């Protein structure tokens, strides 16, 4: 499901309470994703201006297997040493050229037969399976004197402007060093250096696969075969502080220095009035400032502000409305710097059409409503409206979802209606999309 969630520094915190090689945890999932739509948008193989739902050339599918293991290697009164590893296998299961003409993941590569083109979508092209180690880290946690953890290696990260995306069937990860300190009560300090990443980011070396560049992957997040390359030009530094001294409020501030590419900072405050006796009222505010340089676009500073107001009743519903605005200046908005998907942590982020709310000069509204339905399934309604002043393009997206848990199996159906109004040309592009997500957790 294409929803980005914020867990602050949880992705890099490591807990430990065992003796020797113990506390071994094995987890993972098997996934099968399917998507189909009735417009040409996103599929280079289609002919004409439109296609039909469930046509092979306008549909995509993929299967993924993720396996993770972590353990405490050693522990004494002073320190705990932990380690973890993760592996991903991505396969079409031979669905391409049969039931679908496209794939989800960008880690695949496609090879056309000698003398042939990709033709109608993949046509007769062969899509290779992909597999890679997405995590391989070691962590050192102090057990006395200081609440500090140092984590080194290949890992997930979750910060406002550099994070692991999990909405697709593949996820990007980083090769980094992260120091977490919690000596100050109700405060988490984070310092990180990111040297490499395997996301499809455009500032660094371009290692994207031809499946991605040809537009044959609907959810391309990872480089070809999961390959890691230098993050940006020469790596990046990130520093953050998260405070919850006043329990209803979580405040955070982040600073980034992407060497030779950009300097940025992000401020955010989230209020939950449950502890004040005003059950269900939530509010939030975000501000981002990105000073970036690009060889083709020059340099510039973008400023983004966003706000959210919500209300929920436990086991009944949760509703929120959000607004965001990006300045008319700048070359890069407040999207994830680790991939080219355009995904962001903004409250107004769309359910499917990433990259719209963070465009320079864009203003956006988002309305979200989720609710359990008679104990049968969990329903979601998401409306995003974007006005892009500089690019002259408006977008309206409506997404409706229905999810159900069957023990370890998570199943979700989604319908997405998208409308793009290109004001400069008067061209209106509408599309309907149907998706199915199956995830077996273990």
Rounded to 5 degrees, φ, ψ at 57 are -70, -15
Residue 313 burial (CB < 10 Å; 0-12/13-18/19+)?
A: exposed
Residue identified by tokens 């599918």 is: 61
Mean pLDDT for the chain overall: 88
The token duo for 1 is 């499901």
Q: Which pLDDT does position 118 carry in this prediction? A: 53
Distance between CA 153 and CA 176 in Å, rounded?
6
Q: Which pLDDT does position 205 carry in this prediction? A: 77
Q: What is the DSSP letter of 112?
A: P
Distance between CA 127 and CA 118 in Å, rounded?
11
The token duo for 69 is 């293991």
Residue identified by tokens 């409020």 is: 249
Helix (H, G, I), strand (E, B) or coil at 274: helix
Beta bridge partner(s), residue 271: 249, 283
**Closest residue by Cα to residue 92 from 82, 102, 78, 84:** 102
**Closest residue by Cα to residue 180 from 206, 152, 204:** 152
Residue 116 burial (CB < 10 Å; 0-12/13-18/19+)?
A: exposed
Give the H or E element holding residue 79.
strand 79-91
Q: Which pLDDT does position 298 carry in this prediction? A: 72
DSSP codes of every residue in 355-377: TSTTSTTEEEEEEEEEEEETTTE
Q: What is the pLDDT along the chain (442 residues), one digit of tens a residue?
A: 454 443 433 333 333 333 457 889 999 999 999 999 987 544 444 444 457 889 888 899 999 999 999 999 998 889 999 999 999 999 999 887 788 888 999 999 887 765 555 544 455 567 889 999 999 999 999 998 899 999 999 999 999 999 999 999 999 999 999 999 999 999 999 999 999 999 998 777 788 888 888 888 999 999 999 999 999 999 999 999 999 999 999 999 999 999 888 999 999 999 998 878 777 899 999 999 999 987 566 788 999 999 999 999 988 999 999 999 999 988 889 999 999 999 999 999 999 999 999 999 999 999 999 999 988 999 999 999 999 887 678 999 999 999 999 999 999 999 999 998 876 666 668 889 999 999 999 9
Do 82 and 70 touch, CB atoms closer than 8 A? yes
Q: What angle do CA 375, 350, 13 make, to 5 degrees?
A: 75
Q: Which pLDDT does position 341 carry in this prediction? A: 94
CATH 3.20.20.220 corresponds to the domain 8-441: no
- Whole-model pTM: value is 0.90
Break the chain into its structural domains and give their ranges. 8-441
Number of alpha carbons in the 13 Å side-chain half-sphere of residue 344 = 26
The distance of Cα 183 from the centroid of its chain, to the nearest Å, equals 30
Residue 184 CB contacts under 8 Å (≥ 6 apart), including other chains: none
Q: Which pLDDT does position 105 carry in this prediction? A: 95
Q: Which pLDDT does position 125 carry in this prediction? A: 67
Q: Within the chain, what is the greatest distance between any pair of CA atoms?
A: 70
């Amino acid at each position: 499901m294409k929803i980005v969630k914020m867990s602050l520094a949880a992705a890099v915190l490591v807990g430990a309470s065992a003796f020797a090689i113990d506390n071994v945890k094995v987890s993972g999932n098997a996934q099968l994703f399917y998507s189909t739509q009735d417009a040409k948008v996103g599929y280079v193989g289609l002919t004409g201006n439109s296609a039909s739902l469930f046509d092979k050339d306008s549909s995509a599918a993929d299967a993924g297997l993720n396996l993770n293991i972590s353990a405490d290697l050693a522990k004494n009164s002073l320190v705990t040493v932990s380690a973890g590893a993760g592996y991903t296998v991505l396969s079409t299961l031979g669905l391409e050229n049969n039931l679908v003409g496209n794939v989800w993941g960008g880690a695949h590569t496609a090879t056309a037969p000698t003398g042939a083109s990709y033709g109608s979508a993949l046509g007769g092209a062969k899509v290779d399976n992909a597999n890679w180690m997405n995590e391989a880290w070691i962590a050192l946690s102090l057990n006395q004197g200081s609440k500090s953890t140092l984590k080194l290696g290949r890992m997930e990260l979750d910060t406002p402007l550099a994070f692991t995306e999990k909405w697709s069937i593949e996820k990007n990860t980083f090769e980094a060093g992260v120091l977490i300190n919690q000596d100050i009560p109700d405060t988490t300090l984070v310092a990180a250096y990111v040297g490499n990443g395997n996301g499809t980011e455009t500032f660094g070396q371009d290692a994207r696969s031809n499946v991605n560049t040809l537009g044959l992957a609907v959810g391309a997040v990872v480089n070809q075969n999961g390959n890691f390359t230098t993050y940006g030009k020469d790596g990046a530094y990130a520093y953050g502080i998260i405070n919850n001294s006043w329990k209803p409020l979580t405040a955070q501030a982040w600073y980034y220095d992407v060497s030779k590419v950009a300097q940025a900072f992000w401020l955010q405050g989230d209020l939950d009035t449950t502890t004040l006796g005003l059950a269900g009222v939530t509010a939030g505010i975000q501000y981002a400032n990105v000073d970036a340089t690009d060889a083709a676009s020059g340099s510039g500073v973008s400023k983004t502000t966003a706000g959210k107001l919500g209300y929920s009743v436990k086991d009944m519903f949760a509703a929120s409305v959000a607004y965001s605005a990006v300045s008319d200046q700048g070359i890069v908005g407040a999207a994830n710097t680790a991939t080219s998907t355009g995904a962001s942590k903004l409250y107004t982020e769309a359910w499917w059409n990433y990259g719209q709310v963070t465009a320079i000069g864009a203003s956006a509204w988002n309305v979200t409503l989720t609710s359990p339905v008679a104990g049968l399934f969990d329903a979601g309604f998401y409306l995003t409206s974007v006005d892009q002043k500089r690019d002259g393009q408006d977008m309206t997206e409506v997404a409706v979802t229905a999810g159900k848990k069957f023990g370890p199996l998570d199943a979700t159906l989604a319908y997405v209606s998208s409308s793009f109004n290109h004001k400069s040309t008067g061209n209106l592009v509408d599309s309907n999309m149907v998706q199915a997500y199956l995830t077996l957790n273990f």
